Amino acid sequence: MNKFIPTPSRSVLELGFFTVHFYALCILLGIAAAIWLTQRRYAHLGGQKDEIGDFAIVVVPMGIIGGRMYHVISSPGEYFGAGGSPLDALKIWEGGLGIWGAILIGALAGFVFFRVKKRSLSFSFLADAIAPALAIAQGIGRFGNWFNGELFGRPTTLPWALEIPAAKRGSGFSEFATFHPTFLYEAIWCFAIATLMIYLPYFKRVAGSGSVFLFYVASYCLGRLAIEIIRIDEANQFLGQRINVWVAGSIFIISSTSLIMRGRANGKLL
């Protein structure tokens, strides 16, 4: 008899007057881990780790806002279409944060913060320090999708398949019980690239140039591209492909090309 990964039967914890959503806990745990690791890496590069706390107060909320904005804009029918509720756009705990929006808005907020307030290191050092921390935060955050029973892939009977309750399988998949655990694929991919960025000697030589961050963007997009192709949750499409497939592919090309050109210019190729 096959043993599959079960979907948790509960996604919330009731504590008197408070309701704790496990999705939100995963996001918060990821943020805490990212701040801790960024502080250590930033200090190792010669910066003052206390600056990261001030940075996080500005960037974390902006990143969450940016991530939610991207999700809502890329899935407008869910909130503004027939049967949708605009107020649901505020219910972040139910899932729905687009990493592209989070990184873009968070990075812009961080850049402005570093320009306004004099810091001990340049923004490129910060970008390289935070890159693996972002990957780890994303990996931890993906387990929130597991608790919500969402964002799974095509049907499969592989030993590591994810069992999905009938009510969450979506239209056209009611006869299938197990699916690709794309949340787990992405978490493993994120942890793997974070490990490379932390321990690979190459990245220790180029820290501060922005190349570590470019590697994070390129490698994450490569993995996300493969994962998006097997996901079956509803999503807007363009030319027969999910919007996120186009976004991941485009950003991969731009970031990987920039990384190669930067490496050639500096004489430091991976």
What pLDDT score does 223 carry?
96
126 pLDDT exceeds 80? yes
52-61 residue pLDDT tens:
988 899 889 8
Instruction: Give me the percent of the chain exceeding a pLDDT of 90.
Output: 44
Report pLDDT digits (tens) over 59-71. Answer: 898 988 888 888 7
Predicted local distance difference test score (pLDDT) of residue 95 = 65
- Could you tell me if 129 and 213 are in contact, meaning their C-beta atoms sit under 8 angstroms apart? no
**Mean pLDDT for the stretch of residues 157-161:** 93
Per-residue pLDDT, 268: 56
**Tens of pLDDT, residues 202-256:** 887 888 888 999 999 999 999 999 999 999 887 777 888 888 899 999 999 999 9
State the pLDDT at residue 99: 83
Phi, psi of 207 (to 5 degrees): -55, 135
Question: Cα separation of 94 and 22, whole Å?
Answer: 10
In angstroms, the CA 75 to CA 69 distance is 10
Cα 116 from chain centre: 27
DSSP string, 135-188: HHHHHHHTHHHHHHT-S-BSB---TTPEE--GGGS-TT-TT--EE--HHHHHHH
> Whole-number mean pLDDT of the chain?
87
pLDDT digits (tens, 9 = 90+) for 171-217: 888 889 999 999 999 999 999 999 999 998 888 788 888 899 999 99
